[in-house]
């Protein structure tokens, strides 16, 4: 095992969260791997931050809204993982400013590898004047995708050694994001997605961090590349069938049109309705760029949906 001082430090934004947390744990799980984890958080005294410190991560305070704090937190590191949390504030402007902070801090710290957790700028496929889905907030089709995709240029313009990582729908949304099976008017459980019979590219969120670790381990191989990852691509019917088997209760697939989904009334329903429609209408591209075999080569522990359900089905709330 390398002495601590010889290890390459990876500064992980979102370390107390789902994506970054998976990367911190992947680094700590492999003490002989040559990397050390620096967990970045706004609050080092939080329970999650203290847990990471106990596991062996260096915990450093910084705020994505304060580029100087981030530059200090990146100093001396080999690389960084960057992620932003649109759902905390629902502001594309803030998300893009935070992405820019990550890029500028990485530049000032002279990092050798940056992974930016991004998504497609869907306006490349569906220009604003395309009426098949509504324009949202005046200039987006899928705000939480478009803001991330538009932010890619902050990294590339600065000439950073960046890997643009295209993530997939977390199956963990069935637990935490209110997307689990719900009882319908007939009392039966159903998942609701506006995907018709097309496949949803999904992943266990912990595997995003593990794939990111694989990218770092690969050294130069993914620098300057865009890489999509997924654990499995499944239709709504296939997701429902797997949920039925794992839960021991019948779950059906309620395929609604995107306009119905957009009108469901929860915050962000319009954004997610457009997102699912994008994934439906450009399904071959979307699943094609998220190659399961490539993801498994990066992360041999990559789970498929049935494997994820084995350890997580009991945590899915049945509404
Ligand atoms: N749900 C899905 O299916 C899905 C799929 C693909 C992509 N995404 C994207 O994933 C992103 C969220 O990532 P996640 O799920 O890993 O998030 P998460 O579990 O909700 O955690 C958010 C993390 O971001 C950190 N953070 C937020 N604001 C910060 C700030 N101002 N300064 C420093 N750190 C900050 C938090 O750290 P502290 O609180 O400790 O400071 C926390 O670690 C969203 O933008 C979403 O669009 C989601």
| Tens digit of each residue's pLDDT (9 = 90 or more) over 260-300 | 999 999 999 999 999 999 999 999 999 999 999 999 999 99
Question: Could you tell me the distance, in angstroms and rounded to a whole number, from the CA of residue 2 to the centre of ligand 1?
Answer: 31
Dig out the tokens for 184 from the structure: 């319908």
Instruction: Give the three-class secondary structure for 162.
Output: strand
Closest CA to 141 of 287, 261, 285, 276: 276
Q: Does 177 sit in the ligand 1 pocket, CB within 6 Å? A: yes
d(CA 308, CA 285): 25
Show the beta-strand stretches assigned E in 156-263: 162-166, 169-170, 182-183, 189-193, 199-203, 226-228, 232-235, 251-255
Q: Which residues of the chain have pLDDT under 70?
A: 1-3
d(CA 159, CA 291): 26
Dig out the tokens for 275 from the structure: 């997102």
Show the beta-strand stretches assigned E in the chain: 8-12, 35-41, 58-61, 79-82, 113-118, 162-166, 169-170, 182-183, 189-193, 199-203, 226-228, 232-235, 251-255
Question: Could you tell me the distance, in angstroms and rounded to a whole number, from the CA of residue 249 to the centre of ligand 1?
Answer: 32
d(CA 200, CA 179): 13
| pLDDT recorded at residue 2 | 66
| Measured CA distances, 158 to 78, 85, 113 (Å) | 17, 23, 13
Q: In this structure, which long-range contacts are made by residues 55-58, counting pairs with CB atoms below 8 Å and at least 24 apart in sequence?
A: 55/24, 55/25, 55/28, 56/28, 57/15, 57/24, 57/27, 57/28, 58/9
Among 17, 89, 207, say which to mutate for ligand 1: greatest number of ligand atoms within 8 Å of CB. 17
Q: Does 184 sit in the ligand 1 pocket, CB within 6 Å? A: no
d(CA 239, CA 260): 20
Q: Does 81 sit in the ligand 1 pocket, CB within 6 Å? A: no
Q: Are 95 and 86 in contact (CB under 8 A)?
A: yes
């Amino acid at each position: 095992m390398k002495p601590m001082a010889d290890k390459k430090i990876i500064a992980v934004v979102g370390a107390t969260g789902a994506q970054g947390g998976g990367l911190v744990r992947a680094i700590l799980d492999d003490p002989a791997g040559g990397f050390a984890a620096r967990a970045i958080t706004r609050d080092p005294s939080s329970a999650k931050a203290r847990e990471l410190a106990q596991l062996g991560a260096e915990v450093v305070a910084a705020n994505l809204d304060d580029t100087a704090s981030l530059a200090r937190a990146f100093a001396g590191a080999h690389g960084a993982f960057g992620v932003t949390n649109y759902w905390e504030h629902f502001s594309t402007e803030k998300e893009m400013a935070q992405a820019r902070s990550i890029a500028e801090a990485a530049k000032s710290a002279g990092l050798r590898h940056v992974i930016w957790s991004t998504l497609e700028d869907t306006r490349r496929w569906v220009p604003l004047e395309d009426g098949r889905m509504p324009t949202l907030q005046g200039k987006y089709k899928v705000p939480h995708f478009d803001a991330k995709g538009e932010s890619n240029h902050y990294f590339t313009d600065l000439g950073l050694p960046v890997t643009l990582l295209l993530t997939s729908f977390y199956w963990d949304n069935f637990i935490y994001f209110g997307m689990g099976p719900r009882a319908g008017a007939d009392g039966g459980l159903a998942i609701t997605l506006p995907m018709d019979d097309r496949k949803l590219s999904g992943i266990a969120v912990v595997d995003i961090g593990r794939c990111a670790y694989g990218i770092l381990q690969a050294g130069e191989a993914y620098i300057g590349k865009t890489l999509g990852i997924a654990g499995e691509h499944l239709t709504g019917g296939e997701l429902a069938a797997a949920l039925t088997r794992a839960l021991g209760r019948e779950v059906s697939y309620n395929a609604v049109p995107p306009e119905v989904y957009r009108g469901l009334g929860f915050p962000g329903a319009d954004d997610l309705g457009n997102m699912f429609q994008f994934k439906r209408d450009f399904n071959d591209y979307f699943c094609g760029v998220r190659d399961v075999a490539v993801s498994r080569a990066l992360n041999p522990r990559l789970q498929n949906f049935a494997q994820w359900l084995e350890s997580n089905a009991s945590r899915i709330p049945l509404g």
